Amino acid sequence: MATHFALRSEQPTEADVRQILDEQTMLVSVTIYGNGPAFARDSYMVLTQGAKTIKPVKMRYDGRASLAPTWPKTPPYQAKVIASFAYEEFDPLASTRISVFPAVGGEVSFDVDFSKVE
């Protein structure tokens, strides 16, 4: 949410802060790149902490990708995959791997340290 407000040169109101703190889920948004406008449709995301796989409570994705800023270089399209994870399901201090599975196949994974997110 900090990025949301910063991009608009706004400060969150007290009600905005209260709403954020009352949330039961953490939103994870990942931008992925592919070769066709529908490549992100039906993509999926999970968190992995040790041997535990955390599934999202809600998933969204761009049904139609937009041209990437790097176009005409390949891959020419970019899309967002967004997942909501219940705070009670994961440890914010544990080593975490985010994995995105585009419906067209493959996997994009990277490690994150949520304890350093401000």
Q: What pLDDT is stored for residue 105 in this prediction?
A: 87
Q: Is 6 in a helix, a strand, or coil? A: helix
pLDDT, position 11: 75
Which tens digits make up the pLDDT trace of 21-33? 678 998 899 999 9
Geometric angle at alpha carbon 66, from 61 and 72, rounded to 5°: 140
CA 13 from centroid of its chain's CA atoms: 25
Domain boundaries, the chain: 25-104
* Residue 94 confidence (pLDDT): 92
pLDDT tens digits for 45-65? Answer: 999 999 999 999 999 998 899
Q: What local confidence, expressed as pLDDT, does residue 79 receive?
A: 93
Helix (H) or strand (E) holding 20: helix 14-22
Residue type, position 45, single letter: M
* Secondary structure of residue 114 in the 3-state scheme: helix
